[in-house]
Amino acid sequence: MEYHTPGVYIREVDSGPKPISSVSTSTPGFLGLFEFRPPNDAIAITGSDGKRQLRGKVVPQLVDEKGGIKGDAGEATTALTQAFKLGNKNVKDIKKYLELYGAPKAGAAAPKFEPGTKGRVKITYAEKSLELPEVNVSVEGKVITDSDQAVEDLLNKLHETFPLTKASPKTAADVLAAYGYEVKATEGTALRSEYSVPPVPITNKAEFFRWLQSYFAQFLIETRPVEDLVGRSISDPDDAADAVYEALSSDDALKKEFRDWLSTPSVFNFVAGVNGFYDNGGGKSYVYLMGTQDLQSSIRENQADKLGLYAFDDVDDMALMVAPGCNPNQQREMLELCEVRKDRFALLDGPIVSDGNMDIPASNKGYGALYVPWVKITKPSWFTGNQDHIKVTGPNRRKLIKTEKNELFVPPSGHVAGIYARVDTERGVHKAPANEICMGITGLSQNINRLEQGQYNDRGINAIRIFKDRGIRVWGARTLGTMSDASWKYINVRRLFIMVEQSIMIGSQWAVFEPNDHALWKKLTRDVRAYLMRVWRSGALFGTTAEEAFYVKCDDETNPRYLIDAGQVNVQIGICPVKPAEFVIFSIGQWDGGALIED
């Protein structure tokens, strides 16, 4: 700043560290699926003349899925010829052309084709006759000329001579036949194969249920006429959605349809998972439902269209990924995405009944955890379905603890996500989310005892167990990286690193494009140390002193000249996370007052 006029000036200076705030560690994104049969937007028709194929689409109001003409035949004919880009010059069969305009296909009233005067073909129909040059039309009624103008003149004469007022085909094949094409296939097609809206943040169960009603109302008006839903026409889409939303609470038929939809297995798993999250102390979450034609298909979907797992790409404060009830392949995709992004942790459901040799997805760096068995909840008042689809076969079928009359099986991931949130709030992300009571449940689908759990624990599978007088508790704190890299076998260690890494990355954005010199290095060191000091004091790092708990290094050694020239500034950070006391061991022996006799 330059000073020219005498006076008092104030200048702000950077006199302290830029605080780094910890990112959210317990905000989950819930993904659910439901069966979606998209209404046909068009009927696709494939035709062939023996040499090449044409494919065109018409609206289903004019042609059905079998190729039959619906509605106005003239409009259907125009739509078909435009879809295939066929004009008068493309007509190849005069006999079929006359039939297209109502001439009988057979019988005494059908058009007759026979030799006429020299060099001509005679056409007789409706008590009238017309002769055309045989260089243009064969005696079978086929157009053989290559001249577009000749075909135009020929059709003009046909319309002048015979009563051809309006096309009246019965099928799409009748139209294409006049142009020399045979229909090979007809099928209904839809522009959207999935139904999807962006994830929505919610904070409690009441808000979640209102969102479900709103989502279903929007889904109905986008897939069905609003007149069929509320009995009147509403032109404004928002007003239509509001009307259907209100009807879901007052109209018995729509109310039942909503409850039936909520009770379908895939939607119920999703709803029960979100409710379980809030039963166990959850706060903010993101909910996302996707309609798909195949519930077992990939949930990776299209990243460009933000479908499936990629719908959460723009949700920056999400830390957990939960998809209650998804199949193993879909869970593997979810885990792999978390491994690639490195800013989220996946919670996966094991089978409803399992053993220590069950198949599990592989994780290289422990970005996910698997929980068994399923839990039981009290049947909600709105539930109208059943769980006949749950079948356990083979040796494990005898391990299944069946539900009572008013109980239902639910995947555990939603409830466990709530436990994560509760522990993070009460203790911090460094506390392993284990030895915690699972709330909102009535029992388990399988009883896993202490000896059996040894097989699970060694492989990184977390068991939920029943303890007499201590309730039902999560009794495992391992990631799916247990067998791949023991450094990342504990859930709290992986999640602590996710929090520290993302917090430092976001809190250090101010340094981008700053002069890369000693001043910048000192500022970065100062800010990161200040942040890690707070993390250490919260009990997340091991060590009686800060020097034992972490270090930050950013100097000439970490930033040689060739890295500076490449536009890089390198900060080395080391932290010593606390590990859970997974095995508490007491050595006990006899003591006679002077010597210890060990047992």
**Dihedrals phi, psi of 422, to nearest 5 degrees:** -65, -45
Residue 329: predicted pLDDT: 95
What percent of the chain has pLDDT above 70? 98
Residue 589 CA from chain centroid, whole number: 58
Contact 544, 536 (CB under 8 A): no
* pLDDT tens-digit series, residues 383-393: 999 999 999 98
User: According to the model, what pLDDT value does residue 1 have?
Assistant: 64
Please determine, for residue 150, whether its predicted confidence score (pLDDT) is greater than 70.
yes
pLDDT digits (tens, 9 = 90+) for 359-369: 999 899 999 99
> Is the full-model pTM beyond 0.85?
no
Residue 119 has pLDDT above 80, yes or no: yes
Give yes or no for residue 12 having a pLDDT over 90: no
> What was the pLDDT predicted at 597?
54
CA distances from 177 to 86, 158, 185, 207, 275 (A): 12, 17, 14, 58, 59
Q: Tell me: pLDDT of 443 over 60.
A: yes
Q: Is the dihedral of CA 208, 209, 211, 216 positive or negative?
A: positive
Exposed e or buried b for every residue in 136-174, given b needs 16+ CB within 10 A?
bbeeebebeeeeeebbeebbeebeeebebeebbbebbbb
Q: What pLDDT sits at residue 191?
A: 67
Question: What mean pLDDT do residues 129-133 have?
Answer: 90
- At 116, give phi and psi (nearest 5°): -105, -150
What average pLDDT does the segment 45-64 reach?
A: 88
Does 326 have pLDDT greater than 80? Answer: yes
Strands (E), 318-459: 320-322, 345-349, 368-372, 375-378, 407-410, 436-437, 443-444
Position 521 scores a pLDDT of 95
pLDDT(189) > 80: no
Helix (H) or strand (E) holding 156: helix 148-161
Question: Using CA atoms, how far apart are residues 215 and 228, in angstroms rounded to an integer?
Answer: 18
Per-residue pLDDT at 339 exceeds 90:
yes
For the four alpha carbons of 331, 332, 333 and 337, in that order, the dihedral sign comes to: positive
Q: What is the pLDDT of residue 146?
A: 87
- Three-class SS state of 497: helix
What's the whole-number average pLDDT of the chain? 91
Query: What is the pLDDT confidence band of residue 594, given thresholds at 50, 70 and 90?
Result: low
- Which residues have C-beta within 8 Å of that of residue 477, sequence separation ≥ 6? 432, 433, 434, 462, 490, 491, 492, 580, 582
DSSP structural state of residue 360: -
CA angle 274, 205, 239 (to 5 degrees): 105
Is the pLDDT at 300 greater than 80? The verdict is yes
CB neighbours (10 Å) of residue 39? Answer: 11
Interval 18-30 mean pLDDT: 91
Res. 231: pLDDT tops 60 = yes
Mean of the pLDDT values across residues 82-100? 90
In this prediction, residue 225 carries a pLDDT of 83
Q: Please, are residues 424 and 313 in contact by the beta-carbon 8 Å criterion?
A: no
pLDDT category, 192, cuts 50, 70, 90?
A: confident
